[in-house]
Chain A
Amino acid sequence: EIVLTQSPGTLSLSPGERATLSCRASQSVSSTYLAWYQQKPGQAPRLLIYGASSRATGIPDRFSGSGSGTDFTLTISRLEPEDFAVYYCQQYWTFGQGTKVEIK
């Protein structure tokens, strides 16, 4: 069973700063099936990135995904106030434990 480990657990940043979130898999995984989601309090998750680097419909281009093998990254180039949320990576049936991006 693949385990996805996200780091850091919490990221404290200011609006306008760059956010870099990591997702590490316990074994090599196909980039085709690596996705990222955003979840705000009281809301359902929203698909941001699929196939490791493809943005979902309507997702701003400040969100980008990269990586392969066991190491994947979600980057938010310049944080907007609405980007403060919890982010999850997912591959097949497994989700990472999440990274909370909070306002510093």
Chain B
Amino acid sequence: EVQLLESGGGLVQPGGSLRLSCAASGFTFSSYAMSWVRQAPGKGLDWVSSISGSGGNSYHADSVKGRFTISRDNSKDTLYLQMNSLRAEDTALYYCARGGYGGYFDSWGQGTLVTVSS
């Protein structure tokens, strides 16, 4: 069974940083592209970043480009999202999802909440 478990969310001041993690199990992690998708309170889904299975290629939404960096450690079956220069509008539930990279997301974690506020 595919399992994705996010961690690392919390309350941070504007301009601050956080690193999210997503521990994967139940599948061959390195064979799949992985993504982060966020959802602001009461709003819809918003793609953030995707990374190829090897980690050699990644894409970020324009809204986070230059501030967020997606990465992965295939030896640890773990996906990361380094978030710098956080803004109030980054407040959201951040989901780790398998797939993306232009395709669909076939498994999702339960999300980790990031709140940016002073």
Binding site for B on A (CB under 8 A): 33, 35, 37, 39, 43-47, 50, 56, 88, 90, 92-98
Contacts and interface: CB of A to CB of B under 8 A. Distances in A.
B26 interface: no
Nearest to B60: A93
Given A44-B108, A45-B108, A95 B45 contact: yes
Interface in B25-52: 37, 44-47, 50
A98 B95 CA distance: 17
A47 B100 CA distance: 12
Contact of A47 (B47, B59, B105): B105
Nearest to B108: A44
Contacts, number: 49
A44 B45 contact: no
Interface residues of B, number: 20
Contacts of B104: 33, 35, 47, 50, 90
B97 to A, nearest CB: 8
24 contacts: A33-B102, A33-B103, A35-B104, A35-B105, A39-B45, A43-B110, A44-B95, A44-B109, A44-B111, A45-B45, A45-B108, A47-B105, A47-B106, A47-B107, A50-B104, A56-B106, A88-B44, A92-B102, A93-B50, A93-B59, A93-B100, A95-B45, A98-B44, A98-B45
B61 interface: yes
